[in-house]
Amino acid sequence: MILQTTLSLAAAAAVINVWLAFRAGKLRYNAKILHGDGGNPMLMQRMRAQANFVENTPFVLILVAAIEMTGKGGTWLAVVGSVYMLARVSHAFGMDNAGPNPFRAVGFLVTALTLVGLSAMAVLIALGRF
């Protein structure tokens, strides 16, 4: 069984993670900071943006793969995963601003809703209710 949605989202996640690493790495290089954040607030924010991505994305990919393996996926699952990836890019841009902003808020909200929604769907499928 080829999990096309999972494969596509995992590829997108890998590209986004590399992009997040390069954003932090470029700042680290320009500021000549070898380890940690060196007290640089922007570097800390970019490091947290990448870490937050890495903290949440594996759960989304596991849930997408499990749902897809049940045969209950489809277009809706690809759309949910794609919106999640776009929201994570939004969150990264929002993390460049120290104050509250809509990019970060949207990224967080979509992440939370994706995790809760996919978890609920997984439970419903497991119970035979979907």
* Residue 4: both structure tokens together: 């096309």
Q: What is the pLDDT of residue 105?
A: 97
Q: What is the pTM of this model?
A: 0.94
The CATH number that applies at residue 112 is: 1.20.120.550
Whether 64 contacts 6, CB under 8 Å: yes
Q: How far apart are CA 16 and CA 14, in angstroms?
A: 5
Task: Identify the sign of the CA torsion 63, 64, 65, 70.
Answer: positive
Where in the sequence is the domain holding 115, given as residue range(s)?
4-126
Tell me what pLDDT residue 130 has: 87
- Residues above pLDDT 90, as percent of the chain: 98
- If you search the block for the tokens 């989202």, which residue do you land on? 9
**Total domains present in the chain:** 1
Amino acid 91: pLDDT? 97
* 16 contacts 84 by C-beta, under 8 angstroms: no
10 Å CB burial of residue 35 (0-12, 13-18, 19+) is exposed
Q: Which of helix, strand or coil describes residue 130? A: coil
pLDDT one-digit tens code per residue, 78-104: 999 999 999 999 999 999 998 999 999
